[in-house]
Amino acid sequence: MSAPCFVTTPIYYVNDKPHIGHAYTTIAADVYARAMRLAGRDVFFMTGTDEHGQKVEQSAAKAGISPQAFTDAVSQNFRDLAARLNISNNAFIRTTEPRHYKACQALWQRLEERGHIYLGSYAGWYSVRDEAYYQESELIDGKAPTGAPVEWVEEPSYFFRLSAFQEPLLKLYADNPDFIAPSSRRNEVMRFVEGGLKDLSVSRTTFSWGVPVPGNPAHIMYVWLDALTNYLTVLGYPEKTPDFSTFWPASLHLVGKDIVRFHAVYWPAFLMAAELPVPKRVFAHGWWTNEGQKISKSVGNVIDPIALIEQYGVDPVRYFLMREVPFGGDGDFAHAAVQRRLNKDLADDYGNLCQRVLAFIQKNAGAAVPLMGNVNELDNEILGKAYCLNELMFTHIEVQAYSKALELFNELVAAANGYVDKEAPWALKKTNPERMGTVLAVLLEVIRCAAICLQPFTPALAGQVLDQLAVPLDARTFGHASDSGALKPGTPLPAPQPLVKKWSEA
């Protein structure tokens, strides 16, 4: 039995409605989860909402409703977005659920019992927008390095002995070179930890929307300690549930680069202090801008993922986001780029390949899978490429190199289009119908393997292609993308339907 796999998205703040950045991380995590399932792994995939803290409390006050009513409404938007994006999560967690309070308090007690938490007082800078503490030396022109405003805070506070974890963290990074990716982020985190760690304030007394500290409810837990614990809650912690013992530690925390420090420094430190296993990997992806500009509410250029789906469809949006930018790097969103990418890769290349082969078989080859018969070197070459696509793409997906995985898909499709042109089955119809059958059967295999491998990225589109090839639902795993899953000659094929729309480019 292959290893279980626990994959997470960040839990998103419910201070505002979801935008393209949230959709991006969630899609990327979904691609991973789907790929792992197709490879036969037992997957637990979660997403959810982070509902406590001053930022959310203030947003609720601004909306003139209670934090609970406010978070109920906004959290639902995130749940709806996941459904609209065709996300295959098997859990959605809200930090306002009673089970989460229980988990946070249990973790707190574990930290306290082990002497890692003490009461003191905090005097320093805090950014509500980032929900983060900053040192004087980190400020730039009186603002957080992220550009967020900061305020001076002085209050009694519990502290977590983060300073004691500098060496254990550096050892963790050294012993596990894949723990933080990509390497630019790993270097950044290591430099930060090497620079020395101060104890971390983990409670606040000046607001109330959060999880009370056990034994001292005047203190509310720091929202990041609360939020990170969600990854345990969702598996049933503190109970020793089957999910917890099967799926913890997490295989992959997928996050944006803005929150890598919380996941790669604070979180493993909390876990080590609590004597719980640390996650295997934190991948921090890059940042999207909109037509060259930073996405921000004040600029008014926030991209609404629902509007995008309505314009282009779910799978095209998923494909574009995963293909356009090497995962880990920053990306710029532009409609012209979306249309160019979709037209080229999906309409002209893959859609066209499927359409010309399937329509031809429907009309000229008895609307059924032809017999492959004798294959020549050229046939074997392209079949070989098709049959190893699953492993090659999986190797990239495993390390979150999504655009590289899709490049391999593109290369196979391009080779197949070249093969159609060269072998010209339409010309063989009269001269050599047997050879025509071989060429078409080879092409069906290429289309089938490509569709199987495309499933994590564009599940509905890939499913539609596999339906058109009459591939049974239980023959669509990565393992089937080889000769062992080859189509049976004579299998009737349904009339092909158009797969991909073409955009008139701006």
Q: Residue numbers of the site for ligand ME8 (CB under 6 A)?
A: 10-13, 21-22, 24-25, 50, 227-228, 230, 255-256, 258-259, 287-288, 295
* CB burial readout 185-216, b (16+ within 10 A) else e: bbebbbeebeeebebbbbbbbeeebbbbbeee
- 225 versus 383: smaller Cβ distance to ligand ME8: 225
Closest contact distance (angstroms) between CB of 296 and ligand ME8 is: 9
Contact between 214 and 169 under an 8 Å Cβ cutoff? The reply is no
Closest contact distance (angstroms) between CB of 304 and ligand ME8 is: 13
- 227 versus 347: smaller Cβ distance to ligand ME8: 227
- Sign of CA pseudo-dihedral 326, 324, 454, 42: positive
- 13 versus 409: smaller Cβ distance to ligand ME8: 13
Q: How open is the CA angle 64-14-233, to the nearest 5 degrees?
A: 130
In angstroms, how far is the first alpha carbon of the chain from the final one? 50
- 91 versus 392: smaller Cβ distance to ligand ME8: 91
Q: Residue 457: which of 151, 31, 32 has the closest Cα?
A: 31
Six-digit token string for 55: 């930022």
- 50 versus 324: smaller Cβ distance to ligand ME8: 50
Closest contact distance (angstroms) between CB of 103 and ligand ME8 is: 13
Closest contact distance (angstroms) between CB of 481 and ligand ME8 is: 30
72 CB-near residues (< 8 Å, 6+ apart): none
- 253 versus 448: smaller Cβ distance to ligand ME8: 253
- 13 versus 419: smaller Cβ distance to ligand ME8: 13
Closest contact distance (angstroms) between CB of 10 and ligand ME8 is: 4
Integer angstrom CA distances of residue 421 from 276, 304, 505: 58, 41, 26
- Which DSSP state fits 198? -
Closest contact distance (angstroms) between CB of 322 and ligand ME8 is: 13
Strand partners, 13: 50
Contact between 29 and 45 under an 8 Å Cβ cutoff? The reply is yes
- 309 versus 386: smaller Cβ distance to ligand ME8: 309
Residue at 449: amino acid letter:
C
Closest contact distance (angstroms) between CB of 223 and ligand ME8 is: 8
Closest contact distance (angstroms) between CB of 233 and ligand ME8 is: 11
Q: Residue 294: which of 20, 499, 11 has the closest Cα?
A: 20
- 210 versus 437: smaller Cβ distance to ligand ME8: 210
H or E element in which residue 82 lies: helix 67-84
Secondary structure E strands in 191-341: 200-201, 203-204, 212-213, 216-221, 252-256, 282-285, 288-290, 293-294, 331-333
Chain position carrying tokens 């950045």? 21
Q: Residue 326: which of 154, 122, 182 has the closest Cα?
A: 182
Q: Which residue is nearest to ligand ME8 (CB)?
A: 21
H or E element in which residue 94 lies: strand 91-94
- 19 versus 448: smaller Cβ distance to ligand ME8: 19
Q: Residue 318: which of 475, 459, 442, 436 has the closest Cα?
A: 459
Closest contact distance (angstroms) between CB of 288 and ligand ME8 is: 4
Closest contact distance (angstroms) between CB of 406 and ligand ME8 is: 18
